[in-house]
Amino acid sequence: MSDTRSPSFTALEALALAGIVVLFVVLCLTNVNFPGLFYDETIDAVPTVQMLTGQPVESLRGSGLWLGPVFVPLMVSDYVGTVNTLLLLPFLAAFGPQPIAFRLMTMLVGMAALLLYYAFTREFLGRPAALITALLLAVHPSYVFWSRQGIYLSSTMTVAAGGSLWALFRWHRRRQWRWLLLGGFFLGLGISAKFLFLWFILALTGAYWLVVGIPRLWRRDVRGFCRALFYDLSPGQLLAGGLAWCAGASLFIIYNLQTQGTFHVLFDNVGTTSYGVSNLNFLDNFLTQLHHLRTVLEGSFFWFIGGPYANPIYPAAFVAALVLLFVLTLGPFRDHWRRFLFLFTIFGVMLVESCFTISGLWETHLLVFLPLPQMMMALCLVLLTREGLRWARQREWGWLRPAALTGAALVLIALVGTDVWVDAQYHRDLPLTGGYSRFSDAIHEVVAYLDARNDPHPVAMDWGLSTTIYVLTWGRIQPVEIFEHQPEPSPDFYEKLRAHMQDPATLYLFNSGDVVVYDRFPQWEAMVKELGKTIILEKTFKQRDGDPIFNILRAE
């Protein structure tokens, strides 16, 4: 694989990479105000707003650190750190509580991950494979649209994954301490972003042991195998790398030293999770994750935008690439076998790990897999082209050289073209739908209405309302949640509801239709009748297709 460093090629490479980045930015920021801000996009921003406005900062389980006069919370949930909370500070300060503030930040995170993966792939697989990988990633619908709304996916994990691969590979080749420390920090940062990043750390470890350690054992180099178990690090290097990891994972570590919250959740959900997923049912979970992987590869997840639309050739192209890579790297390109095995092991181990969860089995968890499929597809395309060119030289078939290059170009055009078509269809739908269900931009109308009413404490009777309203009003409106996160309300719910019923001006916020998560309307309606009051429909908000999704009610 050529790694030519001539000035002309370097200039062309830089121009190509710049074009890829611009394409990614355009695809991300087009229609940036749609869909509406989602609850999980804004939940990380509640402490951000509080820090910027000087309000008391809420913290999970009371955990946090005082940095001078500022209290910094550590986690937004027991397995999600406040990395996004802190990254949002300059963006919310500059733009205020607008979709551009959230999505510009996450787009830049996605761009950073793209560049870090490019840097790693360039050194690991060569420049042609790196450029193809970057192009495939920049237009891929799952990467584009999840980068737009990356907070609710903890997309900072992609930066941690790409950065750690690049830094640690540089350490492997150059043995310069700064790369070891940077790689360790990135691996820790991923854990601070989301505990799910443990999948990547374990998979990376397994890949290193398989590619580096097992061949030593095969050669009966027991001492070398034992060194590989510690990543070929001396005690001093292992300590330094561990300290760098602790620095990156500091949010997670300090939080659990203070509360042990992550471990409580882990042990509570180790058998069957609160979402009903059995970690003992591996086969069904594996089949579910294979289906989810197909959804991610074809880009058909985004029902809340429109469509859904799909790139039907992508899953088949990925499977074909895997088969061809096994043939090519065990045959004419044996020097690439370990590289392919390394990537495939990370991917395969994470796929198995994804069958075990402390929450649910969701497509969004698979964002951390990208761009491993694109890297392997790019490697396959480069090796196939090289094999065609080799045959052309050996057999002196002049027609085969342009045929090989044209074939590779057509395959790349087909993959990129169908992805761009899917992106375009979603972007066409975005201003028409404004987002469906709890992603609807109708939430912004709800916020404007409540802001105009100047009622600081409406009562949220369902999930998905309070944090978005709080953040978009800069904390002026602070809904009171009383619905309870359980199928049936407790006696405490009825006591709180009865207390709020004493004021006839109280506004009650309800989800409607398929947006309903915890249906408390029957209990609310029953208490209204019990107290001899009348239901007043204050306002109904509809998504753009006319379906009502939010209601504001009163009881007087």
Q: Are residues 405 and 510 in the same domain?
A: no
CA dihedral (426, 430, 433, 435) in degrees, to 10, reads 90
Q: What is the pLDDT of residue 3?
A: 42
Q: Are residues 444 and 497 in the same domain?
A: yes
- By residue count, the chain amounts to 556
Q: What is the pLDDT of residue 11?
A: 86
Q: What is the pLDDT of residue 9?
A: 57
- Last residue of one domain, picked from the residues 378, 405, 433: 433
DSSP string across 421-457 = HHHHHHHHHHHHHS-SGGG-THHHHHHHHHHHHT-S-
Assess if residue 2 is contained within a domain. no
Q: What is the pLDDT of residue 65?
A: 94
Residues 6 or more apart whose Cβ sits within 8 Å of residue 363? 292, 295, 296, 301
Q: What is the pLDDT of residue 394?
A: 79
- Last residue of one domain, picked from the residues 407, 433, 459: 433
374/396 Cα distance (integer angstroms): 32
Q: Are residues 143 and 241 in the same domain?
A: yes
242/502 Cα distance (integer angstroms): 57
Q: Are residues 456 and 341 in the same domain?
A: no
β-partners of residue 532 are none
Helix (H, G, I), strand (E, B) or coil at 243: helix
Q: What is the pLDDT of residue 390?
A: 86
- Last residue of one domain, picked from the residues 433, 449, 467: 433
DSSP string across 106-160 = HHHHHHHHHHHHHHHHHHHT-HHHHHHHHHHHHH-HHHHHHHHTGGGGTTHHHHH
CA 234 to mean position of chain CA atoms? 34
Q: Are residues 451 and 323 in the same domain?
A: no
Q: Are residues 345 and 467 in the same domain?
A: no
For residue 428, count CB atoms less than 10 angstroms from its CB and return exposed for 0-12, middle for 13-18, buried for 19 or more.
middle
Beta pairing, strands 75-77 & 548-555: unpaired
Assess if residue 253 is contained within a domain. yes
If one counts the domains in the chain, the total is 2
Q: Are residues 417 and 537 in the same domain?
A: no
Q: Are residues 306 and 238 in the same domain?
A: yes
Q: Residue 465: which domain range?
A: 440-555
Q: Are residues 407 and 477 in the same domain?
A: no
Residues 6 or more apart whose Cβ sits within 8 Å of residue 442? 36, 434, 541, 542, 543, 544, 549, 550
Q: Residue 433, by phi and psi: left (phi above 0), alpha (psi -120 to 50) or beta?
A: alpha
Please name which of 31, 87, 121, 538 lies closest in space to residue 302, comparing C-alpha atoms: 31
For helices 372-395 and 337-353, what crossing angle results, to 10°? 150
Q: Are residues 88 and 132 in the same domain?
A: yes
pLDDT values of the chain reduced to their tens digit, one per residue, 556 residues:
334 344 455 889 999 999 999 999 999 999 999 999 999 999 999 999 999 999 999 899 999 999 888 899 999 999 999 999 999 999 999 999 999 999 999 999 999 999 999 999 999 999 999 999 999 999 999 999 999 999 988 899 999 999 999 999 999 999 999 999 999 999 999 999 999 999 999 999 999 999 999 999 888 899 999 999 999 999 999 999 999 999 999 999 999 999 999 999 999 999 999 899 999 999 999 999 999 999 999 999 999 999 899 999 999 999 999 999 999 999 999 999 999 999 999 999 999 999 999 999 999 999 999 999 999 999 999 999 999 988 888 777 777 888 989 999 999 999 999 999 999 999 999 999 999 999 999 999 999 999 999 889 999 999 999 999 999 999 999 999 999 999 999 999 999 999 999 999 999 999 998 899 999 999 999 999 999 999 999 999 999 999 999 999 999 9
Assess if residue 1 is contained within a domain. no
Q: Are residues 367 and 271 in the same domain?
A: yes
Q: Are residues 73 and 204 in the same domain?
A: yes
Assess if residue 125 is contained within a domain. yes
